[in-house]
Chain A
Amino acid sequence: MSDEPDETTAPDAAPASPGAAQRFERLWGTSPWLLAGHLAVILVAAYALSVMFQERFAPRPFNLILWLVGGAVLHDAVLLPAYSALNVVAAKALKTSNGGGIRRIMVLNHVRVPAVISGVLLLVFSPRIFAGQPQNYERALGHPPPDYLARWLAVTAALFVLSGLLFAVRRLRADPASPDPSGAGAAADAPR
């Protein structure tokens, strides 16, 4: 199991006498063990999908396909590029990219941290924050749902206010000579 699926670039520099496993790997691209693993997963997946896609459970198979692959595609093609772009814009606006200075980096992080927490809450609780199918809530609990959007806005505002207060406290107490607490150390990690 020690072989990795991403050993793709350079074939081994001619071992003395390539065994069957090595020859298999050169042709197939992975070790026979990994192939066995792939086959086992395919077997389980085929069974699971065959039940999920039965007509009585999924009368509209295309809808199920959308849900099965949609999350991965939405994440890789929309969500990650979107928040990466936001991050780049924020860094550009604060000019942290060209050296920047510790104070600007601190500002960036005091914006980023509440933004990430608030964004995660929005994603996780989006069904209720955007009030999807409110009649389900009312029918189940017997009273109309509270205003979850207002709650999220209040939590978001609280997070930013808290972060701003913390920033103010840190700046007031900061000794200009002391190292930056948020970025310390990592700069030295960068290779080359």
Chain B
Amino acid sequence: MGLIPEEPPPGPARPGFWRSPVRSTWTTTLIGSVLLVAIVIVASTGFISHAAYQPDLGRNALIPREKDLQLLVFSWPSGPSWLYALTQGAHVTFGLMMVPLLLFKLWSVIPLLFSWPPPLKPGEALGKLANLLLVGSATFQLATGLTNAQLFYPWHFNFVVAHYYGAWLFVASVMLHVATQLPKMRAAYRTRADVLGMADDPLRTPNPGTTTISRRGVLGLMGASTGAVMLTTVGQSAGGPLRELALFAPRGAGSDDFPVNKTAKVARITQQLVGDAWRLQLATPDGDVVALSREDLLVMPQHTYDLPIACVEGWSSVQTWTGVRLLDLAVRAGIDDAEQVHVVSVQPAGAFKQTTLGRAQIHAERGLLALKVNGADLSLDHGFPARIIVPALPGVHCTKWVGRLEFA
């Protein structure tokens, strides 16, 4: 103890260095409570998205299965049709909204970073490390998430693995943080009005500057900046007139009402691959292959449904799709009660040129191999000659340019 002076050195560790009269445990409690709601929404929808990719099927797992610490394992349902549009839209929109919430939260507790004396006992040092993990993983999740959702990849690591395991770091440290801070929060809520007189509030400055904004003003500003982020993002998921307000979202204002996640050019789709010679190959259980031309498919019973296409990057869009039921194709392949279907695209490039769908998708009434959208043939960018479209299925699993279906 003797080595550490009792009096902190000049600077941020001095009591009175931080002068905002608005900082207090009550202010932090209010900001933290709002942030906590956002964290619960963003974390749960994130883990739900991981489950929606159905990593237990085929080669869907983006993280090697034996290494995967999975919170939720269940077969993803095929309804309601807007399910993934909602969960993933919420994940991205609330994730972006968390940025201002976190900024206000960190602003409100900054004096504690410099609390004096510095941690001397091992337990206190661990506490400081836990805080570093908390803030580090929070900024890591937000930074990687918001850059990825805006098609900017400035890192040298696997995004899916890093963002998924970053979530484990973040959720674990948030849980510990909430558990340790709960007594303070409860005290703050209990005392409410007279909490301002709370004894020994470490966040109250002993040297307040001129009051230029009220606590209500700070919370209002937090709400306004969070709302601004929401307003300029949510239209890419909600669609309609809101899309034109989504000024900064990649699939927002000025972009197509019906965007694509990957153009035919990037997937290296050529006319040869999808021209007249194209056939849908249906693998039968006895090892044979039924080859169907687009005309063969068009004479099968056609069904038309309004279904959303919803991307992991948060955007979604409802269109009117027409095509053949997956279940009819399974029967055509000679399998009455198919459990799985392995879908293979003709595209030579891309991480999602194959996918495996489960029972819920095959047996969904509105589970289609779509041939047309909005009454016209699919465009090349939207997956001509045929693509998967199934209610509630993540967009990347709605394989485009389908060349082969293997029911089992």
**Inter-subunit contact B103/A120 (CB<8 Å):** yes
Q: Are A141 and B157 in contact (CB under 8 A)?
A: no
With most chain B CB atoms within 10 A of its CB, the pick from A38, A48, A70, A128 is: A48
Of B224, B248, B261, which is within 8 A of A148 by CB?
A: B248
Q: Is B212 touching A109 in the complex (CB atoms < 8 A)?
A: yes
With A1-B183, A120-B99, A137-B250 as contacts: A183 and B213 at CB distance below 8 Å:
yes
**Could you list some 18 contacts between A and B, CB below 8 A?**
A4-B180, A34-B123, A45-B169, A47-B69, A48-B69, A48-B166, A56-B158, A58-B156, A60-B156, A71-B139, A76-B113, A99-B210, A132-B150, A136-B151, A137-B250, A146-B254, A190-B21, A191-B196
Q: Which secondary structure characterizes the binding site on chain A?
A: helix
> What CA separation (Å) do A40 and B180 show in the bound complex?
14
Contact of A64 among B22, B150, B157 (CB under 8 A): B157
Interface residues of A in 60-117 (CB under 8 A from B): 60, 63-64, 67-72, 74-76, 79-80, 91, 96-100, 105, 108-109, 112-113, 116-117
Cross-chain contact A182 with B213 (CB below 8 angstroms)? yes
Instruction: Determine if B121 and A28 form an interchain contact, defined as CB atoms under 8 angstroms apart.
Output: yes
A17 within 8 A of B: no
Q: B63, B96, B113: which contacts A124 (Cβ < 8 A)?
A: B96
For B172-185 the 0/1 string (1 means CB < 8 A from A) is 11011001101110
Contacts A63-B157, A121-B229, A152-B248 given; indicate if A40 touches B213 (C-beta within 8 A).
Answer: no
Interchain CB contact under 8 A, A125 and B150: yes
Asked if A51 and B63 make an inter-chain contact with CB atoms under 8 angstroms apart, the answer reads yes
Chain B contact residues (Cβ within 8 angstroms of A): what range? Answer: 35 or more
CB contacts (< 8 Å) of B168 on chain A: these are: 44-45, 47-48
Asked if B119 contacts A29 (CB within 8 A), the reply is: yes
- Structural contact, A124 and B99, CB atoms closer than 8 A: yes
B253 / chain A contacts, CB cutoff of 8 Å? 146, 151
- A contact residues, total (Cβ < 8 Å): 90
Q: Residue A9 at the B interface, CB < 8 A?
A: yes
Binary flags per residue of B88-132, CB closer than 8 Å to A gives 1, else 0: 000000001001100100110010110101011111111100101
Query: In the complex the two chains form, is B121's CB within 8 Å of A121's CB?
Result: no
Q: Is the CB of A5 within 8 A of B212?
A: no
Q: Which residues of B contact A109 (CB under 8 A)?
A: 212-213, 217
Point out the residues of chain A lying under 8 angstroms from B125, CB to CB: 29
Q: Is the CB of B225 within 8 A of A116?
A: yes
Instruction: Please name all residues of chain B whose beta carbon is closer than 8 Å to the beta carbon of A5 when the two chains form the complex.
Output: 123-124, 127, 130, 180
Chain B residues with CB below 8 A from A175, complex form: none
Would A120 and B228 count as touching, CB distance under 8 A? yes
Kindly identify which residue among A123, A132, A186 contacts B215, using a CB–CB cutoff of 8 Å.
A186
Q: Does B211 contact A (CB under 8 A)?
A: yes
Contacts of B260 in A (CB 8 A): 140-142
Within 8 A of B (CB), among A160-192: 182-187, 189-192
User: Does residue B67 face the partner (Cβ distance < 8 Å to A)?
Assistant: yes
Contact A45 B225 (CB under 8 A): no
Per the bound structure, the CA–CA distance linking A35 and B161 in Å amounts to 29
Chain B residues within an 8 Å CB radius of A29: 119-125, 127
